[in-house]
Structure 1
């Protein structure tokens, strides 16, 4: 798969939170959370349903306003940035996406250039080149003029990620990008995610399957009840005890014979 345009070493954005509180209608979901998300790497946020994974991702994307604390991008408070400036630096692919009927792959990817448009800057050859580059990165150049609804699930998801790539942000946030995809299409999408990090982007993804996260992420952030319970390289933090604490499941943790990463083999659900 073709890689995206590379970001020079040392210039990838640094994303962090400080004492971050998030909630809905006064109900706390994430509490006093401090996390550092390394540049040029894939960080997977994992944990049980309702633990605050997607809420945290939304705050990193400036979708959820903090109730306390801050999200920092290269040391600047993200909430204090102008929306257009933030959109040029942070791209988000939400879990649920919709597109108008008949929209082609190229049309979708063009939407990624909107943060770079304005009254004094209309569509340009540079925009067209970034769209072509994003299509190539997602291995979709040959399908650029196909309607989205004629593509396979994996191809559609790569098209949505290509839209974020065309946004040309240093930070890429993905909420369960492999949800509802079969094994082959999951691999298609995760290879593209790895390519983004290899090109120097800071990639943060909420992933549902822990074994998949271990194999494709450089770093894990494990959450439960709105707090981080473990973080680090998968081989360093994934243990039977962590699986029990996160999911209330007894499991064996084996080693992937190909990648050398942890593989979780559930044994039984623990009764509270």
Structure 2
């Protein structure tokens, strides 16, 4: 498998900000005959971090695949700058949206730098070969992921967390305006989780639109500007984390009672599970 295929790249341009926009209209996605995502209307805030949360099997990864044109909509559409994504050229998609899935794989023998270089492939062509800008993008991505000292190590010799950071560096090197990450911190220890999440915040501050799937609600509340909560393929809440994160939402999503505290340092919601819920309840 060509490793670049693991990071799939895909925003009407906002006349005021120049930001490209990725959104959906009544989007339905299915695996086989089974609908997974149902009639979603989503607009990703440009230059912000959006976290998608919800229980296992609710459609989070499927939604990312649809946004990156890896799944053909069963109904509705994904729109890039007001155009149906299906009508946009593959090269434009690859230069605009990058997706790092959960299970990226690469052939044995690749070094970290080799892998990160693949992120520049959408920028190559018959009239544009490897350039100084490409080399600088690779080195900047290695620095962003704290991989400079490991750049010449083969991927198979790295720990799981180190390999995950290498894949993230590849996605960063692709230099797309919209970057989607599916559980990017799942294999990382707490220190490297913070490094990756701070790096993601920095990307948004420098103009990237970032979408990530996260399981930890407190982490999502701290690092996201916008949140989408999914259940059974439908949105049950969306908005700023401080506005939508309530005990009722946690109960609805996970069947768990909770107390919502406020982080004394960052002022963001802290979700403290307390017990399994006795029964279903509406979001409140």
TM over 0.5: yes
C-alpha separation between the residues in 2 aligned to 1:11 and 1:111? 27
Determine if the alignment matches structure 1 residue 187 to structure 2 residue 194: yes
Q: What TM-score results when the alignment is normalised by the length of structure 2?
A: 0.88
C-alpha contact 1:153 1:185 (8 A) present in aligned 2? no
C-alpha contact 2:242 2:268 (8 A) present in aligned 1? yes
Ranges in structure 2 where 5+ consecutive residues have no aligned partner: 1-15, 280-284
Q: Secondary structure at the match of 2:73?
A: coil
Summarize deviations over 1:79-125 as a string: whole Å, max 9, x none: 11122221111001001122222321110110001112223332222
Mean Cα displacement is larger for which, 234-243 or 154-163? 154-163
Q: Secondary structure at the match of 2:236?
A: strand
Superposed CA RMSD: 1.6
Aligned-pair CA distance for 1:161? 1.3
Residue from 105, 113, 117 that aligns with 2:120: 113
Aligned positions, number? 264
Runs of 4+ in 1 over 3 A off after TM superposition: 149-155
Q: Which structure 2 residues correspond to residues 1-272 of structure 1 after superposition, within 5 A? A: 10-272=17-279
C-alpha separation between the residues in 2 aligned to 1:226 and 1:123? 42
Ranges in structure 1 where 5+ consecutive residues have no aligned partner: 1-8
Aligned-pair CA distance for 1:126? 2.4
Aligned-pair CA distance for 1:151? 3.7
C-alpha separation between the residues in 1 aligned to 2:275 and 2:91? 48
Q: What TM-score results when the alignment is normalised by the length of structure 1?
A: 0.92
C-alpha separation between the residues in 1 aligned to 2:84 and 2:260? 39
C-alpha separation between the residues in 2 aligned to 1:198 and 1:157? 22
C-alpha separation between the residues in 2 aligned to 1:189 and 1:61? 22
Closer/same/farther in 2, CA of residues 174 and 162 from structure 1, 3 Å limit: same
Pick 1 or 2: higher relative contact order, CA cutoff 8 A, min separation 6: 1
User: 1:6: which partner in 2?
Assistant: none
